[in-house]
A = this chain, B = another copy of it.
Amino acid sequence: MSREGIQKEESWTISDLAQQLDVSTRTIRYYEELGLITPSRTEKGSRHYSRKDRARLRLILRGKRFGFSLDQIREMIELFGEDRTGRAQLLRTIEYGNQKLAEIDEKIMELRHLREDILVYKQNFEQKLLEENEEEKR
């Protein structure tokens, strides 16, 4: 009989996580200082990260890579994390989400522009390369 429902009950130490996501432990603790993640603690006081914590950290790192400040990220996490109740609150949160989505779409657009710019530069050099080769044939 296959034993179903066995919870791996995965969890990691701070250095596990640091290694997995390629950041320093200091950085992770720093994010905790800022209230971006709140891992559980063992009896002794060691930090203890669940897969949810890990997902959150990934979100943070991802956000960072696109110029979002930690403060903006915190803002985001708080809004989506709180147990908002009541239509008004919910609507506001959803609206905030839409706004963030729009921002991201905007970023994607801009990235395409940047890509274009670089492509043009590159093509310039490719052209030069062709000219060099022509010259050689002569």
Question: Which A residues fall within an 8 A CB radius of B?
Answer: 59, 62-67, 76, 80, 84, 86-87, 90-91, 93-94, 97-98, 100-101, 104-105, 107-108, 110-115, 117-119, 121-122, 124-126, 128-129, 132-133
Supply 30 A–B pairs (Cβ within 8 Å), ascending by A. Answer: A59-B117, A62-B117, A63-B114, A65-B67, A65-B107, A66-B66, A66-B67, A66-B110, A67-B67, A80-B118, A80-B121, A80-B122, A80-B125, A84-B125, A84-B128, A87-B129, A87-B132, A90-B132, A93-B125, A97-B121, A98-B122, A100-B118, A101-B119, A101-B122, A104-B111, A104-B118, A108-B111, A108-B112, A108-B115, A111-B111
Contact residues in B for A93 (Cβ distance below 8 Å): 122, 125
* A112 to B129 Cα, complex, angstroms: 35
Least CB distance from A4 to B in Å reads: 25
Partner of A125 from B97, B111, B113, B122 at Cβ < 8 Å = B97
Residues B66 and A114 in contact, CB atoms below 8 Å apart: yes
Least CB distance from A135 to B in Å reads: 11
Partner of A118 from B97, B113, B128, B133 at Cβ < 8 Å = B97
- A interface, by DSSP: helix, strand, loop or mixed? helix
Q: A90-B132, A94-B125, A122-B94 are in contact. Are A111 and B107 (CB under 8 A)?
A: yes
